[in-house]
Amino acid sequence: MDEEYDVIVLGTGLKECILSGLLSVDGLKVLHMDRNDYYGGESTSLNLIQLWKRFRGNDKPPAHLGSSRDYNVDMIPKFMMANGTLVRVLIHTDVTKYLYFKAVDGSFVYNKGKIHKVPATDMEALKSPLMGIFEKRRARKFFIYVQDYDEKDPKTHDGMDLTRVTTRELIAKYGLDDNTVDFIGHALALQRDDRYLNEPALDTVKRMKLYAESLARFQGGSPYIYPLYGLGELPQAFARLSAVYGGTYMLNKPECKVEFNEEGKVVGVTSEGETAKCKKVVCDPSYLQNKVRKVGKVARAIAIMSHPIPNTNDSHSVQVILPQKQLGRQSDMYLFCCSYSHNVAPKGKFIAFVSTDAETDNPESELKPGIDLLGPVDEIFFDIYDRYEPVNEPTLDNCFISTSYDATTHFESTVVDVLNMYTLITGKVLDLSVDLSAATANLLFKAKTLTGTGTGTGGGVGVGHLQFLRSSPHHLPWLPRLLAFQHHRNHDAITGSTSTRPPPRMPLRRPFSSSSTESPELSSSSSSSSSSSSFSIKDAADMLDIRVGRILKAWRHEEADSLYVEEVDVGEAEPRIICSGLVNYIPLHHLQDIKVVVLANLKPRNMRGVKSSGMLMAASDASHDNVELLLPPQDSIPGERIWFGSQLNQENQTLPSPATPNQIQKKKVWELVQPHLKTNDSCIVILGDHVMQTSAGAVLCRSLKNANVS
């Protein structure tokens, strides 16, 4: 163990195994350790004897439940969106060759005391009791808007900026009632609670489009897929990927202690008296408990049954979402059921889970609304576990800690955490721009033909040849065209095709013309036929002197309670003094010796007696309740000029000299550029289609997605 590694990964949960595989593929030297003697950590799958030992101690399971080895009971059960991010990661890494998948039979929602199928076809939508006839007409208009929406094409926005318009405001425009909003927000957009209603609508629209795209992949009744033999196969598949690319695995390594130097940076991991050196550590919260905080609890019930969940069309695999309003709760409840058709139980047996964010210390009573929907159960187990999230600053200690698994029964939030961690670790965004239709047409996703394996009857794809279907008018779901029976069906609308025309650029008048006294503003397109005096937002951004900075020290402003004062190295002969209004958002100790992004060509300002020469750039959410500093890569150099490239890691070859502070102020260049600065879904800072970057990689914030930057 006395070797040195680029990264040591602690824990073999799904998140840690995905990262281990990705980092190994990137050519990093990875050591992966686990205190347990099995893969999966908290996301492992258990056989019947292991399940009994975990919840019933030394008791033995009754014989009528069948053979122990026929059970693969997931401890963190989640389905995968067929067009979702995890599927893209699987295809990107070619891990699919180690796995076999099968479609999930049904997707249901609880409404007004009953379970209803989420419609998967036009006829199902027409007959669904979820909405009345007049409500269906209103909802149809909303679904058409969602179908046609293209983030890059303003013509599809109907005059609304969905990064600023809230979901509540968007839905109000279409006059939808509360039950419809419940169905849309929780069963289609898969929001976990109602906070999304007061957040920018873009996220909800993207989620709805993902649901529709995933549903289009199969001629089945849900947008989900699930691996045969349970989710325990996933961590092992990514572990094999890591091993293929040179990763080293060590299980059953007790007392893995992370070692730090006097500066608080990780230097290695010690186990059984041996220390392996490393530059970075990736781990689950249990390995660095002093660097995480408790953020809640998850209550769950695990039931073994001899029948499908009632009122789900005898589906052998199914998800049922119980929206919070329907239960008078603060968060949703989830039902998950799988069976022998996915090889997770003996023939005739079903495994059901009920889970939710715990709001009391009594999981049995809290989960009762979901348990009552299961019908008779053979056995049931109750559990409650804590959820944690990291509070450390990875740029200071080089420790990258995953968040605990939430109560949802789908993987989208899990993979977002993985991709954010990957970007924090490497400074780059994982390219997942794969064509799922093409990638899967060559049998990348097939179910193994298994003798004697049953199938569900709720519209699922049976065991045998299973692959994604190319999108076509016959396979697209009902969602984008709800109740088009009242109108002539236009084939362009039915296929859901989007325009391939590039979005119009938004160039400006020349802001630095010596004869102009006007503020720069948008004007005609900047094309090859445009005059040399016309240029784009990107050109204006190139006039900003944005640099990598390093805070040498920071302290509270003596005359202003809301201000910090920072001494910042920006590559000049002397450090700059910069004041920032971060007191209410960032603890002072998080501002010591960290890399930051500095806007350096602003005119100095007197801030309550302190001359401030520049601005620390930060991201903030729509309500401005959360603010995070922009983070350049750890290997970036103070003083290096930051630029916006059309591709990540694109070399900077044509960056012009920055404008003077007087020009920036006079022509309001910052005021022009700032509204176009955002973070994307991976927390990377972008300017339209351009990525903010240094020679060492992308600039990002810690966790704020689709946030404003200033």
Looking up residue 598, the CATH number of its domain turns out to be: 2.40.50.140
Exposure class string for 52-84: b at 16+ Cβ within 10 A, else e? beeeeeeeebeeebbebebbbbbbbbbbbbbbb
User: 143 pLDDT exceeds 70?
Assistant: yes
What is d(CA 578, CA 612) in angstroms, rounded to the nearest whole number? 4
Quick one: average pLDDT of 304-323? 95
Quick one: average pLDDT of 698-708? 88
pLDDT-derived band at 354 (thresholds 50, 70, 90) equals very high
What is d(CA 540, CA 505) in angstroms, rounded to the nearest whole number? 14
* 586 and 640 housed in the same domain: yes
Structural domain including 663 reads 537-709
Structure confidence at residue 266 (pLDDT)? 96
Structure confidence at residue 641 (pLDDT)? 93
Looking up residue 163, the CATH number of its domain turns out to be: 1.10.405.10
User: 516 pLDDT exceeds 60?
Assistant: no
Question: What are the angstrom distances between the C-alpha of 526 and each of 511, 537, 577?
Answer: 14, 10, 38
pLDDT-derived band at 655 (thresholds 50, 70, 90) equals confident
pLDDT-derived band at 413 (thresholds 50, 70, 90) equals confident
Residue 340 lies in a domain: yes
* 148 and 246 housed in the same domain: no
3-state secondary structure of 443: coil
Structure confidence at residue 388 (pLDDT)? 94
* 249 and 206 housed in the same domain: no
Question: What are the angstrom distances between the C-alpha of 521 and each of 256, 435, 506, 672, 703?
Answer: 58, 38, 9, 7, 32
pLDDT-derived band at 120 (thresholds 50, 70, 90) equals low
Of 54-58, 519-523, 666-670, which gets the smallest average pLDDT? 519-523
Of 124-138, 230-244, 268-282, which gets the smallest average pLDDT? 124-138
Residue 566 lies in a domain: yes
Of 103-117, 478-492, 526-540, 615-629, which gets the smallest average pLDDT? 478-492
Structure confidence at residue 167 (pLDDT)? 94
* 243 and 383 housed in the same domain: yes
First to last CA, the chain: 46
Q: Going along 11-122, which residue ranges are E strands?
A: 30-33, 45-46, 73-74, 80-81, 101-103, 106-111, 114-117
Quick one: average pLDDT of 136-164? 90
State the residue for tokens 């899967």.
440
Q: Which amino acid is at 244?
A: V
Residue 301 lies in a domain: yes
* 305 and 373 housed in the same domain: yes
Q: How many structural domains comprise the chain?
A: 3
Which one is predicted more confidently, 258 or 529? 258
User: 558 pLDDT exceeds 90?
Assistant: no
User: 378 pLDDT exceeds 80?
Assistant: yes
Quick one: average pLDDT of 496-513? 30
Reading the block at residue 507, the tokens are: 């160039």
Look at strands 318-322 and 106-111 and give their pairing: parallel
What is d(CA 214, CA 152) in angstroms, rounded to the nearest whole number? 21
- Quote the mean pLDDT of the chain: 81
User: 449 pLDDT exceeds 80?
Assistant: no
Which one is predicted more confidently, 661 or 635? 661
Q: What percent of the chain has pLDDT over 90?
A: 46
* 244 and 191 housed in the same domain: no
Residue 182 lies in a domain: yes
Residue 245 near residue 510, CB atoms below 8 Å: no
User: 460 pLDDT exceeds 60?
Assistant: no
Residue 468 lies in a domain: no
Of 103-112, 370-379, 503-512, 564-573, which gets the smallest average pLDDT? 503-512
What is d(CA 622, CA 706) in angstroms, rounded to the nearest whole number? 9
Q: Which amino acid is at 357?
A: D
User: 263 pLDDT exceeds 50?
Assistant: yes
Residue 521 lies in a domain: no
Reading the block at residue 336, the tokens are: 């998950």
* 86 and 189 housed in the same domain: no
Structure confidence at residue 348 (pLDDT)? 94
What is d(CA 535, CA 507) in angstroms, rounded to the nearest whole number? 5
* 577 and 627 housed in the same domain: yes
pLDDT-derived band at 579 (thresholds 50, 70, 90) equals very high
Quick one: average pLDDT of 119-144? 78
State the residue for tokens 């999930």.
104
DSSP state of 631: B
Looking up residue 310, the CATH number of its domain turns out to be: 3.50.50.60
Of 204-213, 271-280, 322-331, 511-520, which gets the smallest average pLDDT? 511-520
Bridge partners (DSSP) of residue 437 are none
| 708: number of Cβ within 10 Å | 20
Nearest of 704, 706, 564, 693 to residue 636 by alpha carbon: 693
User: 547 pLDDT exceeds 90?
Assistant: yes
Q: Give 306-342 as a 3 state SS string.
A: CCCCCCCCCCCCEEEEECHHHHCCCCCEEEEEEEHHH
Residue 525 lies in a domain: no
Nearest of 223, 221, 216, 222 to residue 475 by alpha carbon: 216
Residue 431 lies in a domain: no
Q: Give the HSE-up count for residue 693: Cα atoms under 13 Å, Cβ half-sphere.
A: 22
| 289: number of Cβ within 10 Å | 11
Which one is predicted more confidently, 88 or 578? 578
* 481 and 545 housed in the same domain: no
Residue 90 near residue 430, CB atoms below 8 Å: no
Q: What percent of the chain has pLDDT over 70?
A: 83
* 242 and 348 housed in the same domain: yes
Reading the block at residue 54, the tokens are: 């975990």
* 275 and 366 housed in the same domain: yes
* 215 and 286 housed in the same domain: no
User: 528 pLDDT exceeds 80?
Assistant: no
pLDDT digits (tens, 9 = 90+) for 425-436: 999 998 887 555
What is d(CA 75, CA 388) in angstroms, rounded to the nearest whole number? 17
Of 238-242, 453-457, 700-704, which gets the smallest average pLDDT? 453-457
Nearest of 402, 408, 393 to residue 422 by alpha carbon: 402
